[in-house]
Structure 1
């Protein structure tokens, strides 16, 4: 089969990695420990691996309480949704989780999606229409861009975390159409937070709708875990919150929180919602259990996560590692070329440290990097070991 030049280039790179025995992707997990921070891989080695490629930030997915509620949900409702949610796949568990999510974020209503990606696509493709202008941060997640492109609206990109540029673009976008500003709360490929306090001011001054994707920030950030918007004091000024259960909430799936009118519109018209089966009961049960755990243990788990993340950032900087603007529990390590990043990733894996490589187009050409996901379960010794191994791997793999 003939492929495009871009796809051929990807396949050639993959083949080169395999030939050089440094293929860094799709590690096969054979066993997890008491948390997802410690696993075993199908690599022929019995050595346990410490995971810094996980998004189980608050370390909930292996908890006994969560697993028991998963079992109870399956025993009550079976393993899957019965049909599309509008006609046969909406259970009382789904209904309870929607109410829980809405209450958690202090919004009137919430809607569940099969994935966080579909939540972004569904929300943006429904809220925006031809004649509207959607203003999106240059480094927003790809699912946001995909959602906007489906709308027929005019998409304008503003410079990363630059409220002044956003203000200029909003001035130019004056007209009859709706204006929607969309940002990530925590940028997952760069590790920095959105300047939401300033962005919210700009959006309000222009009467623009503000949408924030809290996928990586909901749970870990904010005084009560409501995300970057809460941490920066603007939660009440965010019109639409999107997010996922696959990071801090021990499961999978996505959600949208907004007014009852917005949620009702999404429920009845969002193609990403209506044309897909709903979340399996097990996933819903897991997330419900996660919210219950966080009611009792959220503060302690967030404090432990923040302490671990701060230690890793500070120690890597002291070792001369470039972690760019990393400001929370997503810590990026800039490496450079895709081949060097692949070699560093495999070297670290072979030494018992699993990290996440990021390659173009997820990051700029020449900006390949490692993404380290810190969790509340990491021990001080595991963090110290990461600080030893990462600078050494970078030093031993030439640019």
Structure 2
């Protein structure tokens, strides 16, 4: 193999990116030259010229990223602990600040214990790598996040995919002979599916987990903070929080920072702390990151009800604006999804929109099925109705003209 031959699949990825760049249609990795007063508006570089854009690709759903309390907590933490943790958490990088945040996260999700991971995907990898292995079987929704699928396959356990949100198919797989013979069974689903914006049938899945003595793991990455009466996620919203065995999540969406977390009972948490490679083999979160998360938890605890209400209302408004403009949209319950079909068409639309002052989130295979490329529009509490009206008009025109 030469250094430029990476195999058919990877070569095709490079050929596609080369082609899009040559045609000036490459829409990924937008460069932010300067942040605005919120994540809903930034100054973007990488276009023909720098320009201010409205951002509909942000995961700062509740809008606390630029809150003064969040920024102050992020600035204060390094004054106490420096810029880094100076070692793995087990031997030199676990501070009082980390310990306090773990207690805060555990209390938020009403769990006995919590652990902090460097990212949400590493939380998924850590949980599945420690709780599943050869002789076990993991059941995944086919639209689960890639980090869940990766963690399940790397664990060495058997992996079975059930059709998206199809509990009858899941039950069929659980009833199979190989499932009955497995040492342990784990069911892992997203609380909110990021590519389609829909929710899983968690009540039915929890019932199946109980009947088949399976561990139920819910990844609340996109739903924690944003869903549920107290912002505990889809499991709280759907009334099954007490039936979920392990919760994974991230601070990079509603909590204005980065990093991941796992919530469970004390026995599971202790096992992960001492056996999860994704936890042990890396440095802990930087003090500034932990400080920012603390600030965000404080803001969301006080103002969460209003901050959760506004994105829901604005998302519903954008749905109606797009429908009125003749744009087909997916059946999402959270994100606004505009199916666009091919990679090339999606890239043209996204590139055109950023040039007109609108940054959207294009999703391509393998994140979505082949032929199912789309725009994911992330509405936040910081958007205005006027911005969304203009966005709907720009999107409608681009979708109609970029055939």
Distance 1:208 1:374 in 2: 35
User: Given that residues 14 and 23 in structure 1 are in contact (C-alpha distance below 8 angstroms), is that contact kept between their aligned partners in structure 2?
Assistant: yes
Equivalent positions of 1:160-199 (< 5 A) are 160-172=164-176, 173-175=179-181, 177-199=183-205
Shift of 1:325: 2.1
Equivalent positions of 1:340-351 (< 5 A) are 340-351=345-356
Aligned to 1:30: 33
TM-score by length of 2: 0.97
Identify the match of residue 9 of structure 1 among 4, 7, 12: 12
Pair 1:339 & 2:361 matched:
no
Aligned to 1:200: 206
Shift of 1:333: 1.1
Shift of 1:165: 1.0
Pair 1:229 & 2:235 matched:
yes
Distance 1:16 1:176 in 2: 47
Pair 1:378 & 2:383 matched:
yes
Structure 1 runs not aligned, ≥5 long: none
User: Given that residues 183 and 213 in structure 1 are in contact (C-alpha distance below 8 angstroms), is that contact kept between their aligned partners in structure 2?
Assistant: yes
Aligned to 2:271: 265
Shift of 1:176: 5.0
TM-score by length of 1: 0.98
User: Given that residues 137 and 182 in structure 2 are in contact (C-alpha distance below 8 angstroms), is that contact kept between their aligned partners in structure 1?
Assistant: no
Shift of 1:297: 0.5
Equivalent positions of 1:60-139 (< 5 A) are 60-139=64-143
Distance 1:123 1:382 in 2: 40
Moved more, 40-49 or 134-143: 40-49
Number of residues paired by the alignment? 397
Shift of 1:175: 2.4
Write out per-residue CA displacement over residues 247-302 of structure 1, whole angstroms, 9 at most, x where no aligned residue. 11011000000000000000001000000000000110000111111111011100
Distance 1:388 1:246 in 2: 29
Helix, strand or coil at the partner of 2:181: coil
Write out per-residue CA displacement over residues 186-220 of structure 1, whole angstroms, 9 at most, x where no aligned residue. 10011111111211111112121100000000011
Equivalent positions of 1:282-321 (< 5 A) are 282-321=288-327
Aligned to 1:56: 60
Shift of 1:44: 4.9
Distance 1:248 1:80 in 2: 23
User: Given that residues 313 and 326 in structure 1 are in contact (C-alpha distance below 8 angstroms), is that contact kept between their aligned partners in structure 2?
Assistant: no
Distance 1:327 1:321 in 2: 17
Write out per-residue CA displacement over residues 38-95 of structure 1, whole angstroms, 9 at most, x where no aligned residue. 0001235353100001101011111111010111101111111110000000011100
Pair 1:150 & 2:147 matched:
no
Aligned to 1:367: 372
Moved more, 251-260 or 192-201: 192-201
Moved more, 164-173 or 108-117: 164-173
Identify the match of residue 359 of structure 2 among 354, 362, 368: 354
Helix, strand or coil at the partner of 1:211: strand
Shift of 1:317: 2.8
Q: Which segments of structure 1 move beyond 4 Å, counting only runs of 4 or more?
A: none
Structure 2 runs not aligned, ≥5 long: none
Distance 2:233 2:320 in 1: 22
Write out per-residue CA displacement over residues 22-49 of structure 1, whole angstroms, 9 at most, x where no aligned residue. 1111111111111010000123535310
